[in-house]
Amino acid sequence: MNGQVQSSRERLGGFGPVNLGLFSGMIATDRVPTIQSFNSDAELDDTMAATEVDSKVKTKLLSMWNNVKYGWTVKIKTNFSKESPVWLLGQCYLKKSECSLERASEALEPVGTGSQVSLAMDATNFENTIEEFKRDFASRLWLTYRREFPILNGSTFTTDCGWGCMLRSGQMMLAQALVCHFLGREWRWRPEQSTDESNHRMIIKWFGDQPTPESPFSIHRLVSLGVSAGKRPGDWYGPSSVAHLLCQAMERASEDPNSKLNQLAVYVAQDCAVYMQDVENVCCTPDGRRKALILLVPLRLGADKLNPIYAPCLTSLLTLDTCIGVIGGRPRHSLYFIGYQDDKLIHLDPHYCQETVDVEGNEKFPLTSFHCTSPRKMLLSKMDPSCCVGFYFPDKESLTDFMETIQRRWKVSQTKSNVGIRCKQGKK
């Protein structure tokens, strides 16, 4: 792909500054202690059983209503322009191979700006089709609301339906980084083949809806970590909060010396500033190994709504090979953005509620519910200004190249149309 599209530096044109008791106990009397105790236990069991049934009914009704509201969007067909390129996490796809180079390049002009993001096209690019794009899209991990999972600690919740969408979006962005690390960006899921199935399933298990060490990024683990930040099960989360939860979850998971997750580190750039010495401290291990880096940058691109001046820079980020997407969406309606065409963002929607899959007790658990085959699009102008963009750097060289580009743009750009990811030496 490096020979098909331009470098990260070239694609970051315009990148610069601006920067979520039930009942009282039955007390036995002295008169008939044995019988009274027996009846109390029976009534207790009956009450608990009734409560459990009531909770399951409520969960099913909630998920049914949610899927009536959102489920249709999973099945309808999304149309793509035949004239414009489609970008998906650094990969460019064209609808028709007969499009001219000039037209393809013109179509990449960002919305609302006179500048142009150029694209180095060759014959290979012209052979990329929408079908290849859909295969790429369907290979991203789709992590959605689930129902009937083990109760979240400190609550009666057995579903995250209605409140866990930002957590699910964050899971998807982290999962994309793990796919890049363990499978590669070029990996494609083919249900009829078992190639790389073990790593594929390994990654999904890490996000399994269960409160066990085998699932360090489960909804249970994230909600548990959220308690320390004053959150409770059922609370809604923002993009920045989720970024910090993912960072904490990775730190905990990598403490196990036998875990493959100790190959990675997560760094959250607060106030858009990346302190290089802090990054080095996070990535370098005592034994001299270097971890791959997942960089998460929370952003605020406007006051009450997205300022259109930031649109070109946001879409240019999605053309980078290192980008693992953006979590954001509409107010209190999180989505995971992974690409764009023209003025519309392509996303995965976590709002479809599905049954929990037992990823621990079944080695050959079904994979289909973890992949979506229907791309969705949303107008960029409808995006909430609060978001978080993620990047994956396999080595120091890729990080250095990216940060040098950012630093250069920060110094020379005099415009206010760019998010201000700043590189700083030293520690925070």
Which of 92, 165, 353, 387 is catalytic? The answer is 165
Residue 88: count of CB within 10 angstroms of its CB = 22
Looking at residue 67, its amino acid is: N
Give the 3-state secondary structure of residue 146: strand
Q: Any idea which residue has 């750009």 for tokens?
A: 413
Report how far residue 242's alpha carbon sits from residue 194's, in angstroms, rounded to the nearest whole number: 33
Least Cα distance to 176 among 286, 331, 322, 385 occurs for 322
The gap between the terminal CA atoms of the chain, to the nearest Å, is 36
165 is catalytic: yes
Report how far residue 248's alpha carbon sits from residue 69's, in angstroms, rounded to the nearest whole number: 33
Helix H or strand E encompassing 215: none
Asked if 18 and 421 touch (Cβ cutoff 8 Å), the reply is no
Which of 351, 384, 387, 388 is catalytic? The answer is 351
- Give backbone dihedrals phi and psi of 245, rounded to 5 degrees, phi first: -65, -40
Asked if 97 and 129 touch (Cβ cutoff 8 Å), the reply is yes
Report how far residue 389's alpha carbon sits from residue 19's, in angstroms, rounded to the nearest whole number: 13
Which of 136, 209, 342, 349 is catalytic? The answer is 349
Asked if 105 and 116 touch (Cβ cutoff 8 Å), the reply is yes
Least Cα distance to 293 among 315, 278, 313 occurs for 278
Catalytic residues: 165, 349, 351
